[in-house]
Structure 1
């Protein structure tokens, strides 16, 4: 979830989506690959979306990027639903813990209400069994470790509730780790508790997610972990220079050496430099207008509308997302790439051709067009991540 960069721009983005004319059409072969194979997407923000704006996602919805009909259309079998915890809640004791349990409850309720469509998934084997039954497996990842609240017992509790990865921090540094978005580096990486938490996550069987953390925290987590780690929803800094939230080439090499996987984020601000910098540029212009004419004044609103009309959001494209995949493949190999779309977490900033969970066949078609074999595509869709998940399960079983 990229709320600090995206949500303030939703009003402007909605004005420009219809202006995008480019279309993508997946072939019958691409649809077959999407339907015949597992598709695991490790970051979809449905729980927080429904917490703020409830809809019945067992049916087609008017809003959002995910619902059951679109998921089935796209071939999505295993959405890792993000238990997203806003960073500021850490300042209120108990608030992160409370929200995390509520969001987990909401996903359990979804599976209970529609057992012919959804089922909770706590292991690789369970995912495979439920694929055979034709239901969508709801797996859980915690985006922001603040609900742990400095107590290892809470790690065990959340594992027992189904959490299978934890993003160590989010948009602010917390009691576990420094954040890539936060200029304060209070720990110079992981906190002492964070280092112990990483070890215990290995022992329990919770995957370590290094999306959102600072570079120093990434390197420390990779060094400490005895099993591969994941970046559940990150893309490449090569295409967004200076954006620490994405991964550098050296970090990707370190991740591959660790055996981990980078799950490519689809959000336009993660994919292209132009989209990444759009928010800052437009916000500065709007701030100047508000200062000159008075925030909320008729003249200010008129001029802000003109700024947005003249500066439509520069949506990324499917082709540019594929460039990220190509680069990781060329840099370290096909074995370290997966999908972490950030659907329902990046507002209306998704690329042309990848607007919701029905569009995974477009991604498959793009990979076919670039010469990827079906075996390579299967690795990206699920096999690489399943390898990591099984290694984490196996290590925990021994410890």
Structure 2
């Protein structure tokens, strides 16, 4: 999840071109039409998305996602249309809370919000704390609400907090977010105070194994990733990451060597749908636009009419380069070719990447388009079933089994 770090700043920087680029995106959207078979498979197979940012979205601006909503990427009717069975709702803690304090309180508030959602609509949702819960809820026709904590700041250096949040339903923890914290260095942070994981972070990974909380390696630095997979006795997940092959120099994504280490660990990468995670042009767009606009302001004066005219021209002629469904499929193809289909899953980052989602996968109603794309590229129904949820369930079950024995 990029939050205001990337997605929002892209949109702020290019407000003038948003309408034009979105119009183009809408025109392209019409080319995607899932077949009846793809729709049926999306509904038949267990569909788990490990990263959806509803909790923080509705904290910022409350919305009842148990019914159709005007805003956002997720609501119950659209999720049912898409075949979604088990969204992992992100208990997102901004990196600033590492210094400001208050992260434990925020985490509890966001968890409370998800429990309240289930309480308001018990005919639609049910909390899910285990792999068995996920499968039982599907049998009952209920959408599971599972919980993952994005940013381990609320652990606050105390393993008792890990146990407390496990009891509250947290089933994975992203060790850091956009800045390094007391657990791990961040891929976004030029400071590498720990050269990977902190001494406490290494203890935390071992304790997460024992408690039954999946270790999420999204967001952390390369060194931290390698240390985490070495230390962990069970498979890890990258809950919402994509591939550095298609975004050179973007450490937030995973390199081929990291994918190979993930495979040795028997883990899974849950592909992120944000355009800046998927395509080099989109990934570099913000910096490119910022440089061009800054140069104009410097040459003509920030508030001059000439600068405003030239900036408007730049924005109009450089719409945001949305990725497409095909780009997502390229990432999936590469993982399959490199380490095998058993290591691929879905971690969309819906409600977390602003208006940067790819053409063909704009919200939770669009999962059948992904299934159609996989069918078109020759994936078997068994492989599609694995990607949609069974690979993640394999990892989660391995974590549960290890914890039960310790």
State the secondary structure of the residue aligned to 2:6. Answer: helix
Q: Deviations over 1:109-146 (max 9, x none)?
A: 10100101111110010111110111110000001000
Q: Does 1:8 pair with 2:9?
A: yes
Cα distance in 2 for partners of 1:115, 1:318 equals 33
Spell out, residue by residue over 1:223-281, the C-alpha distance to the aligned partner (whole angstroms, 9 max, x if none).
Answer: 00000000000000001110000000010000010000000001100101011000110
Verify the 8 A CA contact 1:45 1:345 in the aligned structure 2.
Answer: yes
Deviation at 1:39, TM superposition (A): 0.4
What's the TM-score, normalizing by structure 2? 0.96
Q: What is the aligned partner in structure 2 of residue 121 from structure 1?
A: 128
**Residue in 1 that maps onto 2:295:** 288
Structure 1 spans left out of the alignment, 5+ residues = none
Give aligned pairs, total: 398
Q: Which of 194, 197, 200 is matched with 1:187 structurally? A: 194
CA contact (8 A) 1:180 1:213 kept: yes
Contact 1:148 1:154 in 2 (8 A): yes
Instruction: Give the Cα separation in 2 of the matches to 1:197 and 1:214.
Output: 17
| Residue among 37, 51, 57 paired with 1:49 | 57
Among 300, 304, 320, the residue aligned to 2:311? 304
Q: What CA distance in whole angstroms lies between the structure 1 residues aligned with 2:192 and 2:257?
A: 21
Task: State how far apart, in whole Å, the 2-side matches of 1:296 and 1:111 are.
Answer: 50
Q: Tell me the equivalent position of 1:66.
A: 74
* Cα 1:116–1:285 shift into 2, 3 Å: same
1:86 is aligned to 2:94:
yes
Unaligned 5+ segments in structure 2 are: none
| 1:107 shift after superposition | 0.5
Q: Which moved more, 1:290-299 or 1:48-57?
A: 290-299
Distance 1:213 1:366 in 2: 30
RMSD over aligned CA atoms reads 1.2
Match of 2:342 among 335, 353, 361: 335
Which deviates more, 344-353 or 95-104? 95-104
> 1:198-237 residue pairs with structure 2 within 5 A?
198-237=205-244
> Does 1:18 pair with 2:26?
no
CA gap 1:302/1:147 in 2 versus in 1, 3 angstroms: farther
Partner of 1:276: 283
